[in-house]
Amino acid sequence: MEHFKNLLIVGGTGRNTGKTELVCILISKMSRQRRIYGAKTTEIAPEKCEIMANTLSANNGWCIFEEKSRNSGKDTARMLQAGAHRVYYLQSSDENVAEGFLELLRLLPENTPLICESNSLAEHLKPGLFLVVTRGEGTDKKHRDRLSKADAIFISDGCSGFAEADEIRFSSEGWLKKPDCTTSLKNDG
């Protein structure tokens, strides 16, 4: 499995768990130090008018759009508001997400940090860090598998934010979590 050290993926154990909130907190924090790019992968296609205006690349199994509006109300617009230099939306089925992602990488400067909200991408490639957000309730097998692959697990209560985001950093080595990470992050041991 190919390793992408400049890629940080945020997945979740369901809808409305706080994935976009964590992505935006990380973008806001990191964009003060360097240019950060954002992305979201999903099977849901944007509205037709957006497709015609913002399509950058397309294939039978995927399509890449660039978010241009900070005010669209979409998760990708929130990433721009948080400070991302540019934000991309990869619409793809799970089986085509890796191919579409490789095309998306061609749009970015080499070795640039990328934060991507995706539940499927980590199934196909190895990111520098894979973070999973959960509300802590019981999960099915698919979500338990996702949690077991995570480098860190963030528990969301829906209102207090993610103080643990301070444990994540980017360096010339790629995405890292501090070795003395807090107990609310998954223990590697």
Q: Could you report the per-residue pLDDT of 128-167, keeping only the tens digit for each?
A: 999 999 887 656 656 677 788 889 888 887 777 788 898 9
Q: What is the pLDDT of residues 34-43, one digit of tens each?
A: 999 999 998 8
pLDDT the model gives residue 49: 43
User: Which is it for strands 62-66 and 55-58: parallel, antiparallel or unpaired?
Assistant: antiparallel
Query: Which of 142 and 185 is assigned the larger pLDDT?
Result: 142
pLDDT at 155: 86
What pLDDT does 138 receive? 59
**DSSP assignment of 8-55:** EEEEESSTTSSHHHHHHHHHHHHTTTS--EEEEEESPPPPHHHHHHHE
Tokens linked to 63: 């399509």
**Alpha carbon 71 to chain centroid distance?**
20
Is there a contact between 43 and 93 (Cβ–Cβ < 8 Å)?
Answer: yes
Whether residue 168 contacts residue 175, with contact meaning beta carbons closer than 8 Å, is answered with yes
Sign for the CA dihedral angle at 108, 112, 113, 119 comes to positive
